[in-house]
Amino acid sequence: MFGMDSGIDPGKTMMSELDFAVFDALQRNPRAPWAEIARTIGVSGPTVRRHWHALVESGAGWIATYPNRVRGLMCFSVRVKCQPGFVEAVAKQLCQVPEVMSVSEMTGAYQIQLIVFVPDKSRVRPVLNVSIGQVEGISELIISLMSDVQIEGAQWNSGTLGRIEKSPNQYKFPEVEFDERVEKTLRVLECDGRAGASRIASSLGLGNPQARRIVKQFLSRRVLIQRVEAAPLHDEWPGVLALWLLVPPAKLDEVVTKIKTFPDARLCTTLVGGEANLYVILWLRSFSQANEVESDVVRGLPTRVVSRSILLQHHKRAGVLLDEEGRKIGHVPWTDSPSLHAHVLHAC
């Protein structure tokens, strides 16, 4: 079905058709057995494993794991205005803050866009006002609470095996308490999304069967989310359009429903506490598409574009540190957050 080349060249970012097929199969189930993925794409299990390991070893592929349906978790969109000459330094320092999940440079009056996860309300001010707000070189912040994520990166795929449907019901599971069991499972999976049951069982102090059931429950009920990333996607989709929209509250469902029809919509979340109430990220095949895509999004809808930017460089995404080519060069675990330690101790 696919060519049997040996995988990605460590010095290049190009992916083969088979690499993309492995990537898409893992998007559907990042912890699926290699034999199951092999049957899906029509090659052998060892071939699938070899291709994925080549991507991982070169920094061109990885699995990110992060919290989702956790009681008390608060997520923020933060736009950062920097003093002249400070953008690079500010971005690098923000990358080291565990609660800052994503750091992207962008065009416009605000040069950096952040996604921030805080474990509970009591830690919001220390994280936003101190860990972020006191970074040298920052002159202004625009902070909005992400109230309802409708589309996120784990639903996106390259389309090699067909698109993953953006289901409106997948976020409706009840939230769970962020206890020691969730924290220890996340700590292992943040470092290795395909970590074996024995490693997770050792961390939890349980047997392998119990560990498998716990991981399956956390992922199926979206307590934790996993998504597969690949650096070469930066070559296929070099442009990223970010839109901050103002929509009449009664029309939000209508606008979100339309945005879900865009196959390259990477993020769509409602916002509260700011000038915009909807934040959308769309991947572009070329920068020249930006105006056309923006027009398509708002056409026929009672929507005003409050602000727009092109995301130029991702320094960090879902906790993973990236180089200029989008390759993984490190990781800052969310579970290293002082805020989280205080929260878990309180929960215990």
Condensed to tens digits (0 to 9), the pLDDT of residues 311-321 reads: 999 999 999 99
Any domain includes 165: no
- Within 10 angstroms of residue 206's Cβ, the number of other Cβ atoms is 17
Residues 37 and 149 in one domain: no
pLDDT band of 70, cuts 50, 70, 90: confident
Any domain includes 64: no
Query: What pLDDT, on a 0 to 100 scale, did the predictor assign at position 166?
Result: 44
Residues 145 and 243 in one domain: yes
Give the span between the Cα atoms of 119 and 340, in whole angstroms: 6
Q: If you average pLDDT over residues 83-107, what whole number do you get?
A: 97
Domain that holds residue 151: 74-157+232-331
Q: Quick check: 120 pLDDT over 60?
A: yes
Q: If you average pLDDT over residues 281-296, what whole number do you get?
A: 92
Q: If you average pLDDT over residues 207-234, what whole number do you get?
A: 89
Q: Quick check: 14 pLDDT over 70?
A: no
Tell me how many domains the chain contains: 2
Identity (one letter) of the amino acid at 251?
Answer: K
Residues 246 and 317 in one domain: yes
Mean pLDDT of the chain: 87
Residues 287 and 255 in one domain: yes
Any domain includes 137: yes
Any domain includes 68: no
Looking up residue 149, the CATH number of its domain turns out to be 3.30.70.3460
Residues 245 and 295 in one domain: yes
Any domain includes 303: yes
Say which range, 112-116, 195-199, 259-263, has the weakest mean pLDDT.
Answer: 259-263
Question: What φ, ψ does residue 131 adopt, rounded to 5°?
Answer: -60, -35
Residues 147 and 270 in one domain: yes
Residues 78 and 150 in one domain: yes
Percent of the chain with pLDDT over 70: 85
Residues 152 and 22 in one domain: no
Residues 240 and 316 in one domain: yes
Any domain includes 240: yes
Give the span between the Cα atoms of 144 and 341, in whole angstroms: 24
Q: Quick check: 151 pLDDT over 60?
A: yes
Residues 246 and 323 in one domain: yes
Say which range, 14-23, 65-74, 187-196, has the weakest mean pLDDT.
Answer: 14-23
pLDDT band of 238, cuts 50, 70, 90: confident
Any domain includes 289: yes
Residues 104 and 40 in one domain: no
Contact criterion met (CB below 8 Å) for 26 and 19: no
Residues 24 and 151 in one domain: no
Any domain includes 173: no
Q: Quick check: 99 pLDDT over 80?
A: yes
Looking up residue 28, the CATH number of its domain turns out to be 1.10.10.10
**Residue that finishes a domain, picked among 58, 86, 108:** 58
